[in-house]
């Protein structure tokens, strides 16, 4: 059986949880088995996961699980997986998923692949799955040889599909060890989709000249409903917060649309963004390397082009 760990934030499912269940359902079909989901801690709307393909939702409602400790989560997830007879466990490739998947793999003696971005194939008994490697510069196909398998799913690799029925929820008891990591505070930027989950991203670089000019970027992002990002020197000099830094040493993203403004397109920057579905580059220098990785390019002064684009987006939004 395939077991999906469905991640919640403040008791609600994130889009990545629906992606994971959709992916798990399709994986279960390929393997000719069922897909169940597992939810830890206080949460609501569990039966909804059935719509995305879970035939059953296991729930360990222990409030101690409202705070995350990878060691505790790994113990509980492994126990439920064992009881349920699951041999494929799937996580989202989120901060939480990344630090738990490897632990669960180690406990279950499972082969694991992190950050997968396509459905597995099974040929002649060989289970293979693909992920991005070399910071987005290539893909690798992995073969998982063990019976037990652990995967983490890269965000935005599959669209959630809700076509089924709500699923029965089964409360299960599991031993919850005492947490050794104390969570004092969680600070999240509210109201904005975090970069790893964002479908639309507006990003700017050193061509902006200084932090005081960022209002035109924020306005464009606002109109589009996009999340903002930046190049590394911009974060390093403190023009923008470091969590906006994308690239090889920042975060890797794969939105549907990446708009790069005043960014030259150095290979280390591209490493974090070149898996974006569509790339728009706005740069005054036609020779900027970013144009080679772009689908659409605008050669011009960003201080003129960006406000114009914002106006055009406003008009589009008003009409659609």
Partner 1 sequence: MKLLVCVSKTPETTAKIAFTNNNAEFDSSGVQYIMNPYDEWYALVRALELQEAQGGSVTIINVGPAANETIIRKGLAIGADEAVRVNAEPQSAWYVARQIAEYAKSENFDIVFLGKESIDYNGSEVGPMLAELLGLPFISHATHLEMEGNKARIVADIDGGDAQLEVETPFVISAAKGLAEQRIPNMRGIMMAKRKPLKVIEPVAAEDLAVTVRFQLPPEKGEVKLIDPENMEELVRLLHEEAKVI
Ligand X SMILES: Cc1cc2nc3c(=O)[nH]c(=O)nc-3n(C[C@H](O)[C@H](O)[C@H](O)COP(=O)(O)OP(=O)(O)OC[C@H]3O[C@@H](n4cnc5c(N)ncnc54)[C@H](O)[C@@H]3O)c2cc1C
Residues forming contacts to ligand X in the complex (CB under 6 A) are 205-207, 231-234, 247-250, 262-264, 266, 268-269, 272, 283-285, 288, 301-303
Task: Find the Cα–Cα–Cα–Cα dihedral 243, 312, 263, 285, rounded to 10°.
Answer: -170
Task: State whether residue 243 is helix, strand or coil.
Answer: helix
Written in H, E and C, the secondary structure of 257-269 is EEEEECCCCCHHH
Residue 143 engages partner 1 in binding (rule: CB under 8 A): yes
Nearer to partner 1, 124 or 212 (CB): 124
Strands 257-261 vs 200-204: parallel, antiparallel or unpaired:
parallel
Q: Shortest approach of partner 1 to residue 56 CB, angstroms?
A: 27
Q: Which does 205 bind (CB under 5 to 8 A by kind): partner 1, ligand X, none?
A: ligand X
Structure tokens at 59: 């729930």
Site for partner 1 in 147-206 (CB under 8 A): 149, 180-189, 192-197, 199-200
Site for partner 1 in 118-137 (CB under 8 A): 128, 130-137
Stretch that binds partner 1, among 38-46, 55-63, 168-176, 302-310 (CB under 8 A): 302-310
Q: Shortest approach of ligand X to residue 234 CB, angstroms?
A: 6
Asked whether the CA dihedral 291, 295, 298, 304 is positive or negative, the reply is: negative
Helix axes 302-319, 215-224, angle to 10 degrees: 20
Task: State whether residue 171 is helix, strand or coil.
Answer: strand
Stretch that binds partner 1, among 31-39, 45-53, 57-65, 295-303 (CB under 8 A): 295-303
Nearer to ligand X, 107 or 206 (CB): 206
d(CA 130, CA 116): 6
């Amino acid at each position: 059986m395939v077991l999906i760990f469905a991640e919640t934030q403040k008791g609600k499912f994130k889009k990545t949880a629906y992606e994971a269940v959709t992916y798990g359902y399709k994986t279960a079909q390929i393997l000719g088995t069922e897909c169940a989901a597992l939810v830890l801690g206080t949460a609501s709307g569990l039966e909804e996961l059935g719509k995305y393909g879970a035939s059953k939702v296991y729930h360990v409602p222990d409030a101690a699980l409202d705070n995350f400790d990878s060691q505790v989560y790994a113990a509980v997830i492994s126990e439920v997986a064992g009881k349920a007879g699951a041999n494929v466990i799937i996580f989202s490739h989120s901060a939480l998923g990344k630090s738990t998947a490897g632990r669960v793999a180690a406990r279950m003696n499972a082969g694991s692949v992190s950050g997968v971005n396509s459905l597995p194939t099974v040929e002649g008994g060989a289970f293979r799955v693909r992920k991005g490697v070399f910071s987005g510069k290539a893909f690798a196909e992995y073969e998982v040889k063990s019976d037990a398998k652990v995967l983490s799913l890269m965000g935005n690799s599959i669209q959630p599909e809700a076509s089924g029925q709500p699923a029965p929820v089964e409360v299960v008891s599991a031993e919850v060890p005492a947490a050794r990591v104390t969570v004092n505070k969680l600070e999240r930027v509210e109201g904005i989709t975090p970069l790893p989950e964002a479908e639309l991203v507006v990003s700017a670089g050193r061509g902006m000249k200084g932090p005081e000019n960022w209002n035109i970027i924020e306005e464009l992002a606002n109109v589009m409903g996009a999340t903002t990002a930046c190049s590394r020197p911009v974060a390093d000099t403190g023009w923008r917060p470091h969590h906006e830094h994308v690239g090889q040493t920042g975060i890797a993203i794969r939105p549907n649309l990446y708009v790069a403004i005043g960014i030259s397109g150095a290979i280390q920057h591209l490493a974090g963004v070149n898996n974006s579905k569509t790339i728009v580059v706005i740069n005054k220098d036609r020779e900027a390397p970013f144009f080679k990785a772009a689908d659409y390019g605008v050669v011009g002064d960003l201080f003129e082009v960006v406000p114009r684009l914002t106006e055009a987006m406003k008009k589009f939004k008003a009409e659609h």
